[in-house]
């Protein structure tokens, strides 16, 4: 299967109460489309890794781009992958308060190189404990 990943950052304008609803809806749609991944919420920002077939990721990003609970949706890493990291998860969720400043600076600053973006992604994902069902 043609597997792709997409990692983006965004600025949250979600109310605390929005998160449960947002996640439930994301998981429902992702399960239907064969999309997996992880959402990191740092308080003021989101970072999200999506994995799945290219067409499924394109469809998903249309909804994500249009969602008014966040702004400044900025794709950092996009490309083919050999296997999924979160294959048991229609969308894992972790709070990552320590990442808030970094994401703020990244969104406010100049675009980052792919190499740096990949390092940043790996560093953020390293904070996600191993996931289970």
Ligand X SMILES: Cc1cc2nc3c(=O)[nH]c(=O)nc-3n(C[C@H](O)[C@H](O)[C@H](O)COP(=O)(O)O)c2cc1C
Contacts to ligand X by CB under 6 A: 22, 25-26, 29-30, 39, 46, 48, 50, 60, 63-64, 67, 69-70, 91
Strands (DSSP E) contained in 15-124 are 36-41, 45-53, 70-80, 92-95
Closest CB 115 distance from ligand X, rounded Å: 25
Closest CB 23 distance from ligand X, rounded Å: 8
d(CA 52, CA 71): 23
Closest CB 127 distance from ligand X, rounded Å: 17
Q: Are strands 92-95 and 36-41 parallel, antiparallel or unpaired?
A: parallel
Nearer to ligand X, 16 or 115 (CB): 16
Closest CB 70 distance from ligand X, rounded Å: 4
Nearer to ligand X, 28 or 127 (CB): 28
Count of helix runs (H) and strand runs (E) in the chain: 4, 5
Strands (DSSP E) contained in the chain are 3-12, 36-41, 45-53, 70-80, 92-95
Nearer to ligand X, 64 or 99 (CB): 64
């Amino acid at each position: 299967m043609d597997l792709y990943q997409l990692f983006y950052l965004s600025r949250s304008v979600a109310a605390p109460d929005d998160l449960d609803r947002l996640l439930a809806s994301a998981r429902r749609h992702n399960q239907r489309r064969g999309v997996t991944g992880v959402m990191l919420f740092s308080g003021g920002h989101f970072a999200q890794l999506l994995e799945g077939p290219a067409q499924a990721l394109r469809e998903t990003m249309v909804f994500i781009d249009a969602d008014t609970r966040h702004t400044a949706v900025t794709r950092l890493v996009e490309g083919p992958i050999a296997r999924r990291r979160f294959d048991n998860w229609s969308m894992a969720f972790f709070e990552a308060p320590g990442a808030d400043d970094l994401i703020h600076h990244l969104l406010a600053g100049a675009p980052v190189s792919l190499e740096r973006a990949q390092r940043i992604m790996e560093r953020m994902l390293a904070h996600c404990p191993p996931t289970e069902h």
